[in-house]
Chain A
Amino acid sequence: MPASLKLDRISKSFGTTKVLDEVDVEIRAGEFVSIVGASGCGKSTLLRIIAGLETQGAGHVRLDEVVVDAMAPRERNVAVVFQNYALYPHMTAFENIATPLATSRLSLYERLPVLGRLSRRRAKIRAGIAADVAAVAAQLRIEALLDRKPGQLSGGQRQRVALARALVRRPSLFLMDEPLSNLDAQLRVHMREEITELHSRLGATFVYVTHDQVEAMTMSDRIVMMDKGRVAQIGSPSDLYDRPATIAVARFIGSPAMNFLPAAADSSGALFHADRRLPVDTDRAGPVVVGLRPENVAIGPVYEGAALVGRIRRVEHHGHDRLVHLDLQSPLGGMLSARVSATDALSDPAEGCFVAVDFTGPAHVFDGDGLRRTSKVVRLGFGRIDTAAEAAE
């Protein structure tokens, strides 16, 4: 049975460093939730606390509404896939997968190397374990590898053995700590699919820690974005992409990364970048940062009164589209990247050219604390932008 998970104001400090600060997360049974964030944001510590490998300084972990703070990892019935797989190198793949079953079905003395053989029921239990291991191995297509030791397996094969070891005792909660980070790019894409498929087949609850936003975006039902020990945002992949709650989320989610322009809002909420009126309004005055996804930036021939003018520094070809890097011609300097279609009229802009820059999609406005503010794009696409003087009229 999949379990629901509730983290209730979890805090943790190592010495004087606060690693987790009042983390509140609720995960429904059967959900696939990714925890993302830059390294050092506390995501791995959070996973270890859920697993019971680390004790939190404050707060509670609830599995199916039951507080499990005092339980050992085993009693919580969670399985962990570790970043380096943590397979026992002296055991064959079979023995690795059988270990969690052996510890639960055999008594300590039955597991002892020589003494254990004296037990009469041992052989029968061992046969049951072997059958279960074979079933899981078939599920992950590693039957042929069961006799090998981890040292004789490739990265992808070790990954499968580690998954099998997690699967074999049907845990109610799967915890994965960057399980794909040691694989090469191609295999990673493949395993991404496979894990997603595994999730839908098992219907179990998955908590997946990663620093790779692509993994989080492509695999999860919901994403928990961590920043400096706090939850920055929880939501579906499109929530985080379309409405990032903080500038940290905006920076982290999306590739190529979002552009950021310093700007200031006047009393009416109109935004200016170095005295140039931007086609965006917000709700109150003050210094802000405007975030723009590269696909919401358009470039065109320079025209009189264009709000932003850039000089093309470099063009990256991505096949289906191109990423144009611009140096902004503004007293504040800065750079911008625009994602343009390969079939666009300006699809092959020459490096060194000057172009006008316009917005073709939503702009994200963040205040001085990096928090999202309401904003409205007043005009999309190309056109004459009001200058400061005109806006005042």
Chain B
Amino acid sequence: MTAAAALDKTPALERPAGFRPSRAVREALAGSLFATPAVVLLLATILAPLIALVVLSFTDYELGAVDVRWLGGDNYRQALGDPVFRRAVSNTLLYVALVLPGGILLGLLAALAVHGRKKSRGFYETAYFLPVTATLIAMAAVWQFLLHPRIGPVNAVLKAVGLPEQAFLSEPSLLIPTLAFIGLWNVVGFNMVLFLAGLSGIPKDLYDAAEVDGAGGSVDRFLTVTWPMLAPTTLFVAVTTSITAFKVFDTVAVLTGGKNGTEVLLYAIYLEGFQYFKMGYAAALTVIFLLFLLVFSVFQAVKLDRRVHYT
């Protein structure tokens, strides 16, 4: 008999004979008990509302309505056929397509420029980060002024250099690009901070090695060390930026109010749910919206799990 078995046996003498689960069962029970609070919280705060949302999306529930009818897939059929919703989808995709590459590129460039600074780094970091901390709704007012066709300084500059003035906030073809520009302005600082963190994580040794290996020129350094070493950061930045871009709402709500064909996904949902009180339909749109986000989240989870990383 081993010592452990002997130890296991002794308390049995003091216990009443009868039910005594095996060690494995007891451990499993204890484990489940410890996991319970987290599981309950997860269910109550995330999964349950999600299920409620999906259920709602199959009904004609309206805020305050007494009876609710089961519609099946009608809401989804209606959404796919709705020209407004389709425009919201294509506007959102265009917006993401503008903000995503710009946000990564400008964030990276800003980070590279700021990273080398010693004394002024704090200033630049704060300056670039300000738009992130500023409330976009409040800043939208400033943008409205800047881009104003008559009194805005942007048009004044355009006029001064001899370019045609633009109606940034009313010309339909310019609206989404203008909103994307503001979104970019808002997101670059945040991306820069992420890239800065990534940059300071690159071992200095690698740059030394690159220099000894003859890859000391700035293009070589970037391609041999900086860019590959930033790959995990870049992926993270790409995912967060695209999710942020997908959720564009405040600038649309404040600057255009969704007029002139500037509907975006979140704004369409807001209109249906909280202006027209068609909660069932809004729920269906939300499910579609979540599916878009899911694509990015899954991409990130899979990629980050496999770690674009090296050690």
Contact = CB atoms under 8 A, between A and B. Distances in A.
B214 interface: yes
B311 A78 contact: no
Contacts of B225: 88
A53 B211 contact: yes
Interface stretch (B65-73, B176-184, B215-223, B260-268): B215-223
Nearest to A82: B205
A149 B309 CA distance: 11
Given A108-B219, A112-B223, A51 B212 contact: yes
Contact of B212 (A74, A91, A113): A74
Q: Is the interface of B mostly helix, strand, loop or mixed?
A: helix
Interface residues of B, number: 24
A4 B78 CA distance: 83
Contact of A111 (B220, B229, B309): B220
A95 to B, nearest CB: 10
Nearest to B307: A151
A165 interface: yes
Contacts of B212: 51, 53, 73-74, 78-80, 100
Contacts of A100: 212-214
A94 B137 CA distance: 53
A86 B310 contact: no
A144 to B, nearest CB: 20
Nearest to B311: A151
A150 interface: yes
A151 B310 CA distance: 6
Nearest to B213: A100
B209 A90 contact: no
A72 interface: yes
A58 B203 CA distance: 28
A128 interface: no
Nearest to A48: B208
Interface in B264-308: none
Given A82-B208, A89-B310, A89-B311, A99 B215 contact: yes
A90 B308 CA distance: 9
Contacts of A51: 208, 212
A182 interface: no
Given A84-B203, A103-B213, A108 B220 contact: yes
A2 B215 CA distance: 23
Measured as residues with beta carbon below 8 angstroms from the partner, the interface class of chain A is: 20 to 34
A51 B216 CA distance: 13
B137 to A, nearest CB: 42
Contact of A149 (B213, B216, B224, B310): B310
A86 B210 CA distance: 9
A72 B208 CA distance: 11
Q: Is the interface of A mostly helix, strand, loop or mixed?
A: loop
Given A86-B209, A89-B310, A74 B214 contact: yes
B217 A108 contact: yes
A255 interface: no
A88 B209 contact: yes
A114 B215 CA distance: 18
A72 B310 contact: no
User: Which one of A84, A86, A113, A151 has the greatest number of beta carbons of chain B within 10 Å?
Assistant: A86
B211 A73 contact: yes
B305 to A, nearest CB: 16
A84 B228 contact: no
A388 B290 CA distance: 96
B12 interface: no
Contacts of A86: 203, 205-206, 208-209
Contacts of B210: 99
B310 A90 contact: yes
B80 interface: no
A104 interface: yes
Interface in A81-117: 82-84, 86-91, 99-100, 103-104, 108, 111-113
Contact of B220 (A83, A91, A103): A103
A89 B203 CA distance: 11
A15 to B, nearest CB: 13
A74 B212 CA distance: 5
Contacts of B229: 89-90
Contacts of A111: 220, 223
Interface in B35-57: none
Interface string A198-223: 00000000000000000000000000
B231 interface: yes
B310 A74 contact: no
B96 to A, nearest CB: 25
B310 to A, nearest CB: 3
A45 to B, nearest CB: 13
Nearest to A80: B212
Nearest to A90: B228
Interface of A: 48, 51-53, 72-74, 78-80, 82-84, 86-91, 99-100, 103-104, 108, 111-113, 149-151, 165
Q: Which 5 residue pairs of A and B lie closest in terms of their CB atoms, listed nearest first?
A: A89-B310, A103-B214, A86-B205, A86-B209, A74-B214
29 contacts: A48-B208, A51-B212, A53-B208, A72-B216, A73-B211, A74-B212, A74-B213, A74-B214, A78-B212, A79-B212, A80-B208, A82-B209, A84-B205, A86-B203, A86-B208, A86-B209, A88-B206, A88-B224, A89-B310, A89-B311, A100-B213, A100-B214, A103-B220, A104-B214, A108-B217, A108-B219, A149-B310, A150-B310, A151-B311
Interface of B: 203, 205-206, 208-217, 219-220, 223-225, 228-229, 231, 309-311
Given A90-B231, A103-B213, A112-B223, 9 more contacts: A51-B212, A82-B209, A86-B208, A87-B209, A89-B310, A99-B224, A108-B219, A149-B310, A151-B310
